[in-house]
Amino acid sequence: MHDKQLLKLLKQQQKILSKIALGQPLSEIGEEICLAIEDILEDKSAKCSILSLTGQNLFHCAAPSIDPKYCEIINGVEIGPSVGSCGTAAFRKSRVIVDDINSSPLWTDFKPIALKYGLESCWSTPIISTKSKVLGTFAVYHTKPRTPSEQDIELIDYFVHFSSIALEKDSNAYQLREVVKELKHSNDKFKAITEVMPDLVLILSEHGEYVDVYGDSEDLLYSSMIEMKGHNVNDILPAKDAQPIMAVIEKTLATNEIQVFEYELDVQKGHVVFEGRTASVEHYQSKNNSSRHVLWVARDITQRKFAEREIEKLAYYDPLTKLPNRRMLNERLDIAVEKIKRSGETGALLFLDIDDFKRLNDSLGHSSGDELLIEVTRRLGAITRKSDTLARLGGDEFVVLLEYIGDDNEQANIESSTVAQKINKVFDEEFKIGSLSFQISCSIGICLIEGSDITANNILKFADTAMYRSKAKGGNSFSFYDPQLQTLLDRKIELETEILKAIENEEFCAYFQPQVSTTGKIVGAEALIRWIHPIKGIISPCEFIPVAEQFGLIQRLQNVVLRDICKLLNSLNANLIDEDFKVSINISPSQFKSSSLKTELLNIIRHFNVSPTKITLEIIESMLAHDVEHTVQQMEELKSEGFTFSIDDFGTGYSCLTYLHAYPVKELKIDKSFIDRISDQESGLSIVKTIINLARNLKIEVIAEGVETEEQLNILKRCNIDSVQGYFFAKPMPMNEYIKWHKGF
């Protein structure tokens, strides 16, 4: 290269490098390179071009002296083993010198176009990046066949080097531009998705700050997006809602797992049930690389929840009465059975069927029948407890499931009878449908749920069977499945009717047994009821008092006894009895609990003009143990009227003796069982002595019952007892006999 050429070269080199450094467009730099080499090459017919490789295709980036039409045709050509000089050079990654296009096999496909534009030779050099990647080709054409000289090659390599710098720099910039474009594109996509999505997308910082909020459903937020962004969950939401949200954030970050959960919030739209999904996001903010974030997608599932609940209602509830249906009952029964098997307690299932419902339904029409069922439901609902399940199985069949009815068979028997009676009673009142009113009744079958070999299936079947027994009896009644219980019940019901009849026939009366003081004075008498049966003779109260209690007849029997007491008191001449003489009456537990006790007592004794001070109420020890406050109040009220109290069967009730002082008690009656054993030092006498001592301390009088022998009487006298009652003095006697006895004492 001679000096002039070298100078030119240096000048060109400076120009090109400064353009590259300034980041001028690649096409401009390329043209500069082409023109420079064309100028320096000896043969002035040289035409240069730079092509860049994108994928497998070559594109012109500069060819200032070549006809643009030729470039256009060649543009985009795919490289290969014989695709002209450039296509082949790029493919082979090595220089291809074609000194005569006309005769070169590489040019077979492109020869006509090249010759048409007067191009007859083409030397092509691949432009290779620093990472050995082909970036493009550098081509030198001539209008005549021509072979390059050594100097030509040297020059070409020199400019190829520039081209590689320019292309490589451009390729980096291009890649960066592509990345930015792609990012923008995906960002737009994300925005578009969040805008059409019904969900909210929230980005929360690990401390609970709303970093970004996306989505079109602002009404699902507490307040506007703008107000929320940059603020903390704890500042925006009430504490009760913020706390669980913070807990989710913590859990998401701690586990690094996607969380799916449901939650409810009162937002701008109203009360909304959400399905939330959270995932932890690392490096969400480039500035704040170390902080962690949670991506929170919230979906409004209120409608779905509502629909689910509706579906559940349809599946588990009877649409007419809104009661649990057979399916729900079966599930609850299964649970109850399992619970009972574990606890050993007793439950009961009552199966109800309305008597003659079909006939009613057919004659009244179905809509009236429906109304009737709704009214039955209302009445049954009023007498069942929350813990019971009242279900409708369909038609006129109802079930009451009592999950706990007692600790043992006997208690369960009594309690479930009581519930069944209540159910039967619910039908006593007339049903009014429209302008009609009529009387209906129901038949009940009871199956107790107890023991370890019960199954839910059997229980329903057995209760159903028992229900048919009630139907067979003529309806309006209840029956047990258990045959033994059934006979017991039958006997009780029989006895109940007999008692009712006996009351009407005035077969009940009081017998009197005197109470004598240790000083030998008659201090009182106990009234004891007797049933003088026309055929069976005298029936013991032990046989009928419990039944009378259970069937609510005790009050009427009590009134008979009280009437006889008044008659006795009025018959005993004033000179036969003194101030202190009292007659005692036994008050049963259910009566004592009743709020009408006082009025009932006063009504009768006022009628006979008898003072309450003449009457002692005998209650048993165990009655004191229940509801102390109410018991004391009841006793105080009666005491203020003038009645006195004696604690019957004392010593058998395990009551807490230390509390005895809290009750207004005048007398303790030592139970007969201790008197029977009084000759025995340990089991008899010492207990009697203890009771008497206790009573002395509390200033309560003591009487002994069941005193049969003189020996017993003498021991009791030595113990300083106040008075005694028993066969030793007299058995209970009819009123007239008693009066005679009293006079003769």
Residues that bind Ca ion (CB under 5 A): 586, 618, 648-649
Phi, psi (deg, nearest 5) at residue 447 = -125, 120
Binding partner of 529, given ligand C2E, Ca ion, none, CB within 5-8 angstroms per partner class: ligand C2E
Q: Which residue lies nearer to ligand C2E by CB, 321 or 644?
A: 644
Phi-psi sector, 672: left (phi>0), alpha (psi -120 to 50), beta: alpha
Cα 643 to Cα 522, 584, 704: the distances in Å are 19, 10, 21
Phi, psi (deg, nearest 5) at residue 277 = -130, 130
What end-to-end distance do the CA atoms of the chain give, in Å? Answer: 168
Instruction: From 102-110, 137-145, 598-606, 700-708, give the range in contact with ligand C2E by CB under 6 A.
Output: 700-708
Q: Label residues 692-710 b or e (16+ Cβ within 10 Å = b).
A: bebbeeeebbbbbbbbeee
Q: CA-to-CA distance for 530 and 561, rounded, in angstroms?
A: 9
Provide, rounded to whole angstroms, the least separation between the CB of residue 390 and ligand C2E. 35
Provide, rounded to whole angstroms, the least separation between the CB of residue 649 and Ca ion. 4
Q: Which of residues 485-524 bind ligand C2E (CB under 6 A)?
A: 513
Binding partner of 541, given Ca ion, ligand C2E, none, CB within 5-8 angstroms per partner class: ligand C2E
User: What radius of gyration, in Å, describes the C-alpha atoms of the chain?
Assistant: 55
Structure tokens at 71: 């470039």
Residue 542 binds ligand C2E, judged by CB under 6 A: yes
Q: Which of residues 244-263 bind ligand C2E (CB under 6 A)?
A: none
Cα 229 to Cα 206, 274, 611, 710: the distances in Å are 14, 20, 85, 100
All residues at 6 or more sequence positions from 544 whose CB lies less than 8 Å from its CB, including other chains: 495, 499, 531
Among 561, 583, 695, 724, binds ligand C2E (CB under 6 A): 561
Q: Which residue lies nearer to ligand C2E by CB, 445 or 732?
A: 732
Among 648, 667, 701, 722, binds ligand C2E (CB under 6 A): 648
Order of strands across the sheet with 397-406?
389-394, 397-406, 346-354, 442-449, 477-480
Write the interaction track for ligand C2E spanning residues 574-593; mark x where CB under 6 A is met and - where it is not.
------------x-x-----
Provide, rounded to whole angstroms, the least separation between the CB of residue 728 and ligand C2E. 7
Provide, rounded to whole angstroms, the least separation between the CB of residue 511 and ligand C2E. 7
Q: Label residues 92-126 b or e (16+ Cβ within 10 Å = b).
A: eeebbbbbebeebebbeebbeebeebebbbbbbbb
Q: Which residue lies nearer to Ca ion by CB, 649 or 708?
A: 649
- HEC profile of 7-75: HHHHHHHHHHHHHHHHCCCHHHHHHHHHHHHHHHCCCCCCEEEEEEEECCEEEEEECCCCCHHHHHHHC
Instruction: From 70-78, 338-346, 362-370, 706-714, give the range in contact with ligand C2E by CB under 6 A.
Output: 706-714
Binding partner of 684, given Ca ion, ligand C2E, none, CB within 5-8 angstroms per partner class: none
Binding partner of 306, given Ca ion, ligand C2E, none, CB within 5-8 angstroms per partner class: none
Write the interaction track for ligand C2E spanning residues 711-730; mark x where CB under 6 A is met and - where it is not.
---------------xx---
> Per this entry, what is the length of the chain?
745
What value, to the nearest 5°, has the Cα angle with vertex 601 and ends 595 and 604? 140
Provide, rounded to whole angstroms, the least separation between the CB of residue 552 and ligand C2E. 13
Residue 732 binds ligand C2E, judged by CB under 6 A: yes
Provide, rounded to whole angstroms, the least separation between the CB of residue 530 and ligand C2E. 7
Q: Which residue lies nearer to Ca ion by CB, 300 or 618?
A: 618
In contact, 546 and 713? CB cutoff 8 Å: no
Provide, rounded to whole angstroms, the least separation between the CB of residue 712 and ligand C2E. 9
Helix (H) or strand (E) holding 677: none
Binding partner of 416, given ligand C2E, Ca ion, none, CB within 5-8 angstroms per partner class: none
Binding partner of 708, given Ca ion, ligand C2E, none, CB within 5-8 angstroms per partner class: ligand C2E
Q: Which residue lies nearer to ligand C2E by CB, 221 or 688?
A: 688
Q: Which residue lies nearer to ligand C2E by CB, 460 or 529?
A: 529
Residues that bind ligand C2E (CB under 6 A): 513, 528-529, 540-542, 545, 558, 561, 586, 588, 648-649, 705-708, 726-727, 732
